[in-house]
């Protein structure tokens, strides 16, 4: 509903025209094109310029993450953002999420990420 893919059961969702919303799905979507985020440090030199379909699942996930973060959205909707990421990159992502001015909504089962963000407001849907 927040991403605009579904209509709410009741009420409305309104996003101001100048507000950027970035959404990272749980899994990579249709992967096409070539990998081109070398300046973000998310891909090794051997992967830059390769067809996305040739990259590992982890490398494709890093490209997805780069595509969501590069426009510097005002609102970040992240569904299992640590899937297929190395522990070091998870630490860097966590630090970046703590530093961003964006509003962040995360859906995750990652115990480490949950512990690292334990001081953030939380809605536990399994108890609803």
Instruction: Indicate whether 51 belongs to any domain.
Output: yes
Q: What is the pLDDT along the chain (128 residues), one digit of tens a residue?
A: 887 788 889 998 888 889 988 889 887 764 444 455 655 666 777 777 778 788 888 888 888 888 888 888 999 999 999 998 889 889 988 998 999 999 999 999 999 999 999 999 988 776 55
pLDDT of residue 33: 46
For residue 60, what are the domain limits? 29-71
Instruction: Indicate whether 4 belongs to any domain.
Output: no
Can you tell me the distance from the alpha carbon of 34 to that of 13, in angstroms, rounded to the nearest whole number? Answer: 34
pLDDT of residue 41: 63
Instruction: Look at the chain and report how many structural domains it folds into.
Output: 2
pLDDT of residue 70: 84
Instruction: Indicate whether 50 belongs to any domain.
Output: yes
């Amino acid at each position: 509903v927040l991403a605009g893919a579904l209509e709410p059961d009741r009420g409305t969702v309104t996003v101001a025209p100048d507000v950027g919303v970035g959404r990272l799905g749980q899994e990579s979507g249709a992967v096409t094109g070539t990998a081109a985020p070398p300046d973000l440090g998310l891909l090794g030199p051997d992967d830059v310029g390769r067809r996305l379909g040739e990259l590992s699942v982890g490398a494709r996930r890093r490209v997805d993450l780069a595509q969501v973060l590069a426009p510097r959205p005002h609102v970040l909707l992240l569904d299992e953002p640590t899937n297929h990421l190395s522990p070091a990159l998870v630490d860097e992502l966590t630090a970046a999420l703590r530093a961003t001015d964006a509003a962040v909504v995360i859906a995750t089962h990652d115990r480490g990420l949950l512990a690292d963000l334990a001081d953030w407001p939380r809605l536990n849907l399994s108890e609803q």
